[in-house]
Amino acid sequence: MKSPIWMVTRALLRSQLPLAVTYWSIIYSVWAVVISLMASADVIEASMWQNMGLQAPRWFAFVFGIVAVGTALPIFVAQGVTRRHSLLGAWGFFVPYATGFAALTAVGFVVERLVFQAAGVLNQLTEPLPVISAAEVGAVWLHHSLVNLGYMLTGALVAVAYYRINPWWATLLLPLVFLPAFAVETAFGTPWTGYGLRYLFGLSPGPAVVPATAVALVVLAVAAGVGWLLIRRLPLTKISG
């Protein structure tokens, strides 16, 4: 007999893969076009991937969190899968997608550096590239994996909030519900939300990786615990029509 957790994970991975592939294909294609146009005009001065490949993937991960819990989880429960197994299966979807998105983000920086090097424009950049060494690539992958997880968990919490309570109250609670995503971003000082929040709170712009990772893991653990407390008795809303 197949594990219900694996069945949930597989269903989520397979159903969302085409969307993820399409999204990243568009992001890389647009970046390639922009870089080509800027290179032809000889106006490359800074990393374009930092502007295109960082913020948008987090919000895409956020949407996946909403889909996994707000749309898919009630369906799985209605089909006899327990809430616990459904949530564990959702985690089996969250982790590979969060880390996979982060890997594609890191790869984008590597590709951009190779392109700039081949084009001979590294010396004319007005801002240094944010990723140079292999260690920096690993650091980008690590903290963006955790940031993506923060956004996925936030998406899940948003879905639960709107599922369980009045939409007006859920909307008023959004600043609180978004704390996991923004707290992880603040811990790492990621562009651009993390930078802005650290500046707002008077924190140094470049946090150390180890303390930031520890803070992020604590935030994610608390968010996951709150999510479980809200989901374990999640009522199924009757769909009529």
| pLDDT, tens digit (0-9, with 9 covering 90-100), for 107-147 | 999 999 888 888 888 888 887 787 778 888 998 899 899 99
Give 240's pLDDT tier (boundaries 50, 70, 90): very low
Distance CA 68, CA 89 (A): 9
Give 238's pLDDT tier (boundaries 50, 70, 90): very low
Q: Dihedral sign for Cα 86, 91, 96, 98, please.
A: positive
pLDDT (mean) for 159-186: 92
Per DSSP, the residues of 155-194 read: HHHHHHHHHHS-HHHHHHTHHHHTHHHHHHHHHHT-TTHH
Distance CA 145, CA 127 (A): 25
Per DSSP, the residues of 103-135 read: HHHHHHHHHHHHHHHHHT-GGG-SS--S--SHH
Closest alpha carbon to 82 in 13, 158, 5: 5
Instruction: Give 195 or 179, the one with higher predicted confidence.
Output: 179
- With pLDDT > 90 as the criterion, what percentage of the chain qualifies? 54
pLDDT (mean) for 78-105: 94
Q: Under a CB-based contact definition with an 8 Å cutoff, are residues 184 and 207 in contact?
A: no
pTM above 0.85, yes or no: yes
Here the tokens at position 170 are 């859920």
Q: Where are the domains of the chain?
A: 4-231
For residue 94, which amino acid is it? F
